[in-house]
């Protein structure tokens, strides 16, 4: 959420941001907000004035009653004032709700280093690490062919028991997946200094609002409840399956006051991730490329505002370290203004190379949200006891998503015989060297 003061004082900057993000339809919303803000402030002034009167006269009434006097006319007078206050407060609530509804849907301001661009085609290649790229002297198989032939991935049974987009990992495939997760976590904990979090996989709506999925992107999120609708309504429980561990982990410190000395706080955690992928049919549907459930190790940072961009570079490096240890070719993209996510002020994507697809696949997204999430989630800090509270900056990055990583791994490490050589760094975890 961006600061209403920014919209009030420099609406043209907010409009320029929307233009850069190719969200021309939202331009008029800025003007709506300015008007609503003026209305709101006028109402607050009026209502506060009446409340001041009420407080004062109520004290007078107390004094009169103590002296056994008659305060009936003053009480009658205040009854009218109270009714007026109630009317103004009701009007105020309507306007505030309207304002918040717009504000929560507006994207974040962009960092100056974000390149202008209309679409994903305009993203900038920031870095390419292709030294691990293999030359194959045989026809490469793609990950679905390898997975089926080796009996380590079962798409059909996954579809039977759950539906398309829910693959089953079998035998050494399951072990390999678990090895990847453990390897990545250990690296972040031991080498990169993160603290491990194993979060809940279901969260409430407040958490989704904190990180920005609610209200604008709620259609991508699964909602859970009881099959018995009556029981569901009666329970009052509204839970959502997390689309990423970013949601529970960032919200750990929702409504908290952190100490500057404790910053940066760095968490890494594994979670299954659930995405409805509504409206994305026909795009990247093959095998692991787009799933309803996948596994991911996520990194989350809470930082001082002045260090957040340095921390972003380190975050990307932490994710890259995984790929370098696994010896998988990849590149880093700096996303342009037209492709960057709504909450991010700056974002790098890391893409792994798929020898079968002959293209890069997104395996990680590392973003600095600045105070966009912390303002929504009220995550603040004080520099010292006497300082005014400020919003922390939050960052997060996948480190990494195993689904896309598994595609690159299987395809990169396949042998002529159709087996998979386990990368050296994973062998202590799998306790086998070869799949097949």
Q: Which stretches of the chain bind RNA, using CB under 7 A?
A: 4, 40-41, 44-45, 47-49, 51-52, 54-59, 61-62, 65-66, 75, 78-79, 81-82, 93, 235-237, 257, 380, 385-386, 388-389
Closest CA to 166 of 174, 155, 175, 177: 155
Nearer to RNA, 37 or 284 (CB): 37
* Residue spans of alpha helices (H) in 282-360: 308-326
Nearer to RNA, 135 or 385 (CB): 385
Determine the Cα–Cα distance for residues 52 and 48; give it in Å rounded to an integer: 6
Nearer to RNA, 61 or 170 (CB): 61
In the complex, least distance from residue 385 CB atom to RNA, rounded to whole angstroms: 4
Nearer to RNA, 42 or 161 (CB): 42
Cα-flanking dihedrals φ and ψ of residue 344, to 5°? -85, 140
In the complex, least distance from residue 125 CB atom to RNA, rounded to whole angstroms: 41
Closest CA to 8 of 38, 39, 28, 29: 38
Q: Is 330 exposed, middle or buried (0-12, 13-18, 19+ CB in 10 A)?
A: buried
How would DSSP label each residue in 64-109? HHHTT---HHHHHHHHHHHHHHHHHHHHHHHHHHHHHHHHTTSPPP
Instruction: With beta carbons less than 8 A apart as the criterion, state whether 130 and 355 touch.
Output: no
**Which residues are paired to 381 by β-bridges?**
258, 390
In the complex, least distance from residue 297 CB atom to RNA, rounded to whole angstroms: 23
Nearer to RNA, 60 or 156 (CB): 60
Determine the Cα–Cα distance for residues 276 and 217; give it in Å rounded to an integer: 11
Nearer to RNA, 79 or 191 (CB): 79
Determine the Cα–Cα distance for residues 227 and 231; give it in Å rounded to an integer: 8
Structure token digits, residue 61: 């009434």
Nearer to RNA, 90 or 130 (CB): 90
In the complex, least distance from residue 275 CB atom to RNA, rounded to whole angstroms: 25
In the complex, least distance from residue 277 CB atom to RNA, rounded to whole angstroms: 29
Nearer to RNA, 81 or 325 (CB): 81
Nearer to RNA, 288 or 391 (CB): 391
Q: Which residues contact 143 (CB under 8 A, 6 or more apart)?
A: 153, 287, 288, 354, 356, 406, 407, 410, 411
| β-strand pairing of 195-196 with 265-274 | parallel
In the complex, least distance from residue 264 CB atom to RNA, rounded to whole angstroms: 21
Instruction: With beta carbons less than 8 A apart as the criterion, state whether 337 and 20 touch.
Output: yes
Nearer to RNA, 320 or 370 (CB): 370
How would DSSP label each residue in 158-206? HHHHT-TT--EE-THHHHHHHHHHHHHHHIIIIIS-PEE----SEE-HH
In the complex, least distance from residue 382 CB atom to RNA, rounded to whole angstroms: 7
Determine the Cα–Cα distance for residues 12 and 6; give it in Å rounded to an integer: 10
Determine the Cα–Cα distance for residues 123 and 340; give it in Å rounded to an integer: 9
Closest CA to 367 of 194, 14, 108: 108
In the complex, least distance from residue 236 CB atom to RNA, rounded to whole angstroms: 4
| β-strand pairing of 379-382 with 256-259 | parallel
In the complex, least distance from residue 5 CB atom to RNA, rounded to whole angstroms: 7
In the complex, least distance from residue 234 CB atom to RNA, rounded to whole angstroms: 9
Nearer to RNA, 1 or 363 (CB): 1
Query: How many angstroms separate the most distant Cα atoms in the chain?
Result: 104
In the complex, least distance from residue 55 CB atom to RNA, rounded to whole angstroms: 4
């Amino acid at each position: 959420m961006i600061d209403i003061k920014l919209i009030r004082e420099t609406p043209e900057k907010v409009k320029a941001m929307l233009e850069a993000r190719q969200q021309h339809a939202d331009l008029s919303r800025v003007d709506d907000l300015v008007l609503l803000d003026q209305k709101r402030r006028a109402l607050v002034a009026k209502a506060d004035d009446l409340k001041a009167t009420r407080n004062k006269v109520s004290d007078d009434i107390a004094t009169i009653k103590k002296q056994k006097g008659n305060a009936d006319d003053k009480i009658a007078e205040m009854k009218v004032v109270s009714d007026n206050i109630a009317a103004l407060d009701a009007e105020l609530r309507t306007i505030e709700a309207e304002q918040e509804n717009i504000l929560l849907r507006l994207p974040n301001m962009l960092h100056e280093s974000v390149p202008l661009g209309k679409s994903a085609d305009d993203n900038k290649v920031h870095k390419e690490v292709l030294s691990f790229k293999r030359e194959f002297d045989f026809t490469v198989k793609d990950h679905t062919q390898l997975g089926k032939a080796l009996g380590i991935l079962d798409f059909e049974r996954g579809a039977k028991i759950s539906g398309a987009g829910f693959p089953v990992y079998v035998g050494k495939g399951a072990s390999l997946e678990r090895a990847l997760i453990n390897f990545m976590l250990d690296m972040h904990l031991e080498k990169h200094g993160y603290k491990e979090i194993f979060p809940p996989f279901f969260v409430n709506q407040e958490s989704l609002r904190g990180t920005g999925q609610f209200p604008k992107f709620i259609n991508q999120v699964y909602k859970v409840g009881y099959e018995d609708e009556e029981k569901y309504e009666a329970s009052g429980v509204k839970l959502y399956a997390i689309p990423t561990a970013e949601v529970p982990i960032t919200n750990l410190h929702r409504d908290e006051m952190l100490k500057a000395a404790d910053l940066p706080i760095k968490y890494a955690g594994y979670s299954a991730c659930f995405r409805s992928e509504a409206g994305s049919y026909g795009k990247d549907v093959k095998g692991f490329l787009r799933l309803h459930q996948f596994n991911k190790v996520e990194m989350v940072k809470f930082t001082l505002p002045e260090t957040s961009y340095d921390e972003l570079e380190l975050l990307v490096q932490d994710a890259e370290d995984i790929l370098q240890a696994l010896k998988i070719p990849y590149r880093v993209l700096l996303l342009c203004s037209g492709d960057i996510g709504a909450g991010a002020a700056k974002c790098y994507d890391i893409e792994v190379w798929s020898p079968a697809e002959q293209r890069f696949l997104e395996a990680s997204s590392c973003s600095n949200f600045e105070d966009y999430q912390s303002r929504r989630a009220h995550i603040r800090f004080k520099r010292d006891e006497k300082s005014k509270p400020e919003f922390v900056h939050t960052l997060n990055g996948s480190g990494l998503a195993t689904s896309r990583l598994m595609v690159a791994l299987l395809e990169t490490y396949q042998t002529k015989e159709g087996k998979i050589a386990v990368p050296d760094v994973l062998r202590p975890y799998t306790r086998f060297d070869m799949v097949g």
